[in-house]
Structure 1
Amino acid sequence: MEKDNKVFNNLRDQYNHMGLPVDLIDANTDFTIFNLKDVIHQSLPFKSPGHRLNFFVFVFIKNGFGEYTVDEQKVSLQPYTVYFTNPGHYRSYEWTVVEEVYLITLSESFLKENVHADIFEEFPFLLAEIFPGRLINEALFSEFERLYLQIHTEYINNSPYRTGIIANLFVVLLLKIKACFWLDYNPIYEGNRSSLIVKNFKRLLEKHYRDLSEGKAERAFRIQEYADAQNLHPNYLSTVIKTKTGKPVGTWIAEKTIAEAKSLLQNSSISIKEVAYRLGFAELAHFSNYFKKHTHISPVQFRKNDKPSAS
């Protein structure tokens, strides 16, 4: 896979970098959906370089052909294929035919803020190391098609309830994916030892921050505690996580802290001081500085800006 070592946090930045049009991508939300034909139809065959993407990608292929590569694993793209990837992987793709291929991208923050704060508890397969793509029959695909087309209809509307409607429809889509592909999902059978270490780390990270937000834990774990949970040396854990995901353990912890902070600030009425306390910050000033360092906005301003409004 040709790689240019770029890391993108949203699809708009990735497409800008590749010189693709971004007019179908709403810059005001971390959720996008469109028919890929409307973006790359003039450039076929189209081949992208490998980028590391820090957002979720869901693809529904009704009429298209190509190949997708995730961390050197190749996936054939053909009609009636459904697949997704989660943040942290190197990805590239090559399309030879694109007639009807719907792409959904969204961030973890969107999931936590608009779908459910405990999204990974309900849908643990979202943390899967890789979902190789499933070729399904036309009748089953049509069930997915009805859902993603309804999501697309809401996405291009200007309803003041657009985000809420999209979030609820996306839950239905996730339930459909879970019912069709993941009822027997068990991460212990997925991949090699390194993959299992990554999976266990992600699960513990998610559980610990849920405990923090609910007041069941008093302070944020350090790298040592994540390593101890798997009987690993912290340096080895750090090496595995960085090698498999491209992000150091510290970055995973920082991003999770910010995601949980945003969720609490938006979805609860507790004071900012209480938010700081629940996330393990002894001082409000420390939390405020940390939040602003990672988001370039204060917790006070974030809460003010994220009051419900027309989308």
Structure 2
Amino acid sequence: MTVKTERSVSEFNSELKLKGFNAFQIERDGNAMKTYSRKDFYKICLTTGESRIHYADRSFEHEGTVLFFGNPHIPYSWETVSRTYVGYTCLFSEDFLNQSERTESILQSPLFKLGGTPILSINEEQREFLNGIFRKMIEEQQTDYSFKADLIRNYIHLIIHEALKMQPLENSDQHRNAASRLTSVFLELLERQFPIESSDSPLRLRTPQDYANDLSVHVNYLNRAVKDVTGKSTSTHIAERILSEAKALLQHTNWNISEIAYSLGFDYPTYFNNFFKKLTNTTPKAMRMQKV
């Protein structure tokens, strides 16, 4: 059997961009903090060993087997404590899972929400059952079966539904300052929207309500937390970051004004012009001319 270890981020990304899915076995991990920073992929991880997991505003310490669900919009990191650490991981994009009508409700389940239950303690019987599913996914992704993507999606759904029937891990430490942690998560999520890489893919999150929905909190709670911690409103943070990206696109790309406006989430160039002029006292066209 080939021993799988931690591989480079670029190597993972190339595979994920091609297929939108990857599953592999973990045989050996060192004592190092791991942060999964890709903004496009969900993660399900079944691991046995002693570990410390930091997820949004909570930290979990556990020895034994855990099932972990990672949301690309919520920052998390994983610290391996024990020398022996084994298990399985699968990574998948929302587009990969989007072929199923059940996808939206599944990705909105407590397993993937900010205040949900992303980590579950697994007993030996459950571990053997889940090990079998992960092995099937790993084997299936190597076959030439015409409908293997559908089959793998069914395996992902099966893991998720099995997890929804389990009890979450309870030994978590809540961050003392919930407003501070929520603000940190919001700011990281805001930054993950950038840089804009294509004029054909508009900004996904544009308003405080968009961010609140993504973080599964009420928009008023998000606004109050961000204002209390930073002194600026949620809208101001969003506008300032969009403006910064707009300046970069104007100065470093050959996209026309309409393309830039669309990529930043504006329905019409006029809206973008008004937004830009209000914050800079100049127009996008005039700003671009300054680099010539």
Give the TM-score of the pair, scaled to structure 1.
0.49
Distance 2:107 2:16 in 1: 28
Distance 1:58 1:102 in 2: 8
Distance 2:14 2:64 in 1: 23
Distance 2:25 2:157 in 1: 20
Tell me which of 119, 132, 149 is aligned to 1:163. 149
2:87 paired residue number: 101
Matches within 5 A, 1:1-311: 15-17=7-9, 22=12, 25=15, 27-37=17-27, 41=28, 44-48=29-33, 50=35, 52-54=37-39, 55-61=41-47, 63-71=48-56, 73-87=58-72, 88-94=74-80, 96-98=82-84, 100-114=86-100, 116-120=102-106, 123-129=109-115, 131=117, 133-181=119-167, 194=179, 223=207, 230=218, 232=220, 236=224, 290=262
Q: Return the offset for 1:240.
A: 8.8
Change (3 A) 1:195 1:155: farther
Distance 1:24 1:223 in 2: 31
Change (3 A) 1:100 1:193: closer
Q: Is contact 1:81–1:134 with CA below 8 Å preserved after alignment?
A: yes
Change (3 A) 1:162 1:79: same
Distance 1:144 1:240 in 2: 44
Q: Is contact 1:238–1:249 with CA below 8 Å preserved after alignment?
A: no
Residue identity over aligned pairs, in percent, reads 14
Q: Which amino acid aligns with 2:83?
A: V
Q: Return the offset for 1:162.
A: 1.5
Q: Which amino acid aligns with 2:49?
A: G
Q: Is contact 1:71–1:90 with CA below 8 Å preserved after alignment?
A: yes
Q: Which runs of 5+ in 1 are unaligned?
A: 1-13, 183-190, 202-219, 243-247, 251-285, 294-311
Aligned to 2:8, what secondary structure does the other structure show?
helix
Q: Return the offset for 1:177.
A: 0.8
Distance 2:154 2:121 in 1: 26
Give me the CA root mean square deviation: 4.9
Which of structures 1 and 2 has the bigger CA Rg? 2
Q: Which runs of 5+ in 2 are unaligned?
A: 1-5, 169-175, 187-203, 231-236, 240-257, 266-292
Q: Which amino acid aligns with 2:19?
A: T
Give the TM-score of the pair, scaled to structure 2.
0.52
Q: Return the offset for 1:194.
A: 4.7
Q: Is contact 1:115–1:167 with CA below 8 Å preserved after alignment?
A: no
Change (3 A) 1:234 1:100: closer
Distance 2:30 2:205 in 1: 47
**What does the per-residue CA deviation read over 1:36-74, in whole Å, with 9 as the maximum and x for residues that have no partner?**
22xxx3xx534135454423222112x433333334744
Aligned to 2:220, what secondary structure does the other structure show?
coil
Aligned residue-pair number: 208
1:262 paired residue number: none
Q: Return the offset for 1:114.
A: 4.6
Aligned to 2:53, what secondary structure does the other structure show?
strand
Aligned to 1:134, what secondary structure does the other structure show?
strand
